[in-house]
Amino acid sequence: MTARLIDGKASAARLRARVAAAAGRLAAEHGRAPALAVVLVGDDPASQVYVAGKVKATREAGMISHEHRLPAHTPEAEVVALVARLNADPAVDGILVQLPLPSHIEADRVIAALSPAKDVDGLTTENQGRLAGGRPGLRPCTPAGCVVLARETLGRLQGLRVAVLGRSLLVGRPAALLFLAEDCTVTLAHSRSRDLPALCREADILVAAVGRPGLVRGDWIKPGACVLDVGINRVPAPERGEGKTRLVGDVAFEEAEAVAGAITPVPGGVGPMTIAALLRNTVLAACAREGWAPPADLETEPAA
């Protein structure tokens, strides 16, 4: 058996089209399109690529993009002051501070400065608490994208067993809570968990988000399971020439493909969903702040 490939690019394109339609309707009804401010501090190459992608996708969806690029040595207080200005700016609906920040800046302090109403990454304590409590709020983008892919692949998720590997603030923890909100039975596993392979083999949906290339082997996977690989790891690829690299996920793809029912490739699986979910959050943030009716086809999980 060979697993079905989950086409994240196609799913993301569909979600982006719905977001663009919603943004167009809002602009026609209310005289302005939703606006996203992106803050990038320093010149981390991967972050440059991600931010360029976010800016381009925002514009392509008919929304307004404000870009703030600050030099790597910018003091923390200046980043916090910029966030405070963006919080107060009525023309800005969403604020994204690209992570990681340079090491002299405490990410927690910058995140704490974000207005929860504009926190389109869902990283503030307020939005984390809302998610944990099953109340409405802005949800982290990558795990929200995972839920969309799982729903499109499997339909109703109620009662399914989910194993999430990795307990990061950006992906693992919120993924566990988002699948719980779908009435799944969730195991949140991490580097100290005992017998990871056995935990994974129980799962109808396996979400790998640890940042370790090829950690999840074929025999960790329940036959027929849906595998969502969030890992984006750059590894040497001497077969492509000296000094060349390639991107791989946290799942040993060829092994997993032979066992799983469906699997996301890396790249082209979960990755594209992150930006689509970010655009969706920007529209939802604009609606919540302005008191506009949120487009029904952009709603996320049902309220608990």
Residue 3 beta carbon to ligand GUN: minimum distance, rounded to whole angstroms: 26
Active site residue 121: yes
User: Which residues are at the interface with ligand GUN (CB under 6 A)?
Assistant: 96-99, 121, 141-142, 170, 274
Q: Which is nearer to ligand GUN, 27 or 99 (CB)?
A: 99
56 as an active site residue: the answer is no
**Minimum CB–partner distance for residue 209 and ligand GUN (Å):** 11
Query: Smallest distance from the beta carbon of 218 to ligand GUN, in angstroms?
Result: 28
Q: Name the minimum Å distance from CB 274 to ligand GUN.
A: 5
Closest to ligand GUN by CB, 121 or 250: 121
Nearer to ligand GUN, 58 or 98 (CB): 98
- Cβ neighbours, 10 Å, residue 103: 9
Catalytic residue among 54, 118, 128, 250: 54
13: amino acid identity, one letter: A
Print the SS3 string covering 163-218: EEECCCCCCHHHHHHHHHHCCCEEEEECCCCCCHHHHHHCCCEEEECCCCCCCECH
Cβ proximity to ligand GUN: between 150 and 170 the closer is: 170
Exactly one of 93, 118, 119, 121 is catalytic; which is it? 121
Nearest-approach distance from CB 201 to ligand GUN, in angstroms: 29
Q: 93, 98, 118, 119: which one is catalytic?
A: 98
Residue 278 is classified by DSSP as H
**Of the two residues 37 and 262, which places its CB atom closer to ligand GUN in the complex?**
37
Tell me which residue has its CB nearest to ligand GUN: 99
Task: Specify whether the CB–CB gap between 261 and 3 falls below 8 A.
Answer: yes
* 98 in active site: yes
Torsion of CA 139, 128, 293, 297, to 10 degrees: 30
Contact 203, 162 (CB under 8 A): yes
Amino acid identity of residue 176, one-letter, is: A
Encoded amino acid at 124, one letter: T
Query: 119: number of CA atoms within 13 Å, CB side?
Result: 21
Q: How far apart are CA 149 and CA 91, in angstroms?
A: 32
Distance of alpha carbon 284 from alpha carbon 290, whole angstroms: 10
Q: How far is residue 133's CA from residue 206's CA, in Å, rounded to a whole number?
A: 23
Provide the annotated active-site residues: 54, 98, 121
